[in-house]
Structure 1
């Protein structure tokens, strides 16, 4: 008994029979499921026991994972483990510093603040070292056996006489000219504030970290940190 065609359900005789995909077809019925192009045994592609041309062959796609209670539980557990691992790594590396720091505006601001604090500390230590020589008044005042009178109208001790004297050198028209490369806010009465790009004139070097000069824009003069300006 002759089989029936899988496409037209009519009898397929041996002379026109195509046996493929576990089915029987007429040669004219063995066509693509989408475009109906006639296929043969060399150019067809089977999918779900149906013939397709290469153009319309179904593409396999990923199925989305359903948010079942079990999947949600696993997702939450994975998230908690990630957070625990992050905290452990943070605690382990805390205090060791960062290997790579992005040069963002925020990091530049922090760096400038740190530099400013370092400069002030350096200047204070420098002045103390200059005032703390053997036989100087500072040495006597700072000795363990010395006690400052509680109230004495005639006693007026200046803790930084050297800095006060060095902070106001006579202005010199022959001083160097510098350009500010950062904003600076004065931290003491003998310092001068300026903005990025300001011209600093009549500059005189005080020590390795500080200078004395006049801000041309404001006309004010005073001490300023050397690493905040650049020579013109």
Structure 2
């Protein structure tokens, strides 16, 4: 028995049958729910088992997990625990001439970023010194004129000027670009900064000068606002 079309409720014969979204359609009935443009298996987008074109596909709203009361409470509790640990270490090492700061995730992330920046600066300075280094020129030794006097011509002055050896020019070595320089990413979700070292952006923003910090965080600058800081890696995609 032939099934019924999900659009017109008429019988669908095998020669004109389209099986998609767990339903059966006529080829002409398989169209967008909004603009009625005829679709196929390559350009359709399904939402709640209904076909849509790319322009009218419903966009799902994104809810930040940090906005829930439970996560806000956990965040506040973690911050309080970090403050308590810092104060305990401070009181323990008071009067010893130095202060030990608790190794928080924010501090470790900051130290890792500073180490990467220091390595980039060191390699740039090293390549500049390598390019500006000159090969010392050795002055050829000049033999005495007596060695070139012919027999029987001792009274004649024979002047000899040695030909200097050609010096091969030093080929400059191009400085290697710093890692992750020039990488561009595009935001796929909205994000609001939770700390002072983070940056906010919206869906579609372009983030430039991106540096990979770890598996979950990056450092970059939002091209639209000019602000720079930390951002979550799962909120953006590479361009």
TM-score range, shorter chain: 0.3 to 0.5
How does the TM-score come out when normalised to structure 2? 0.35
How does the TM-score come out when normalised to structure 1? 0.35
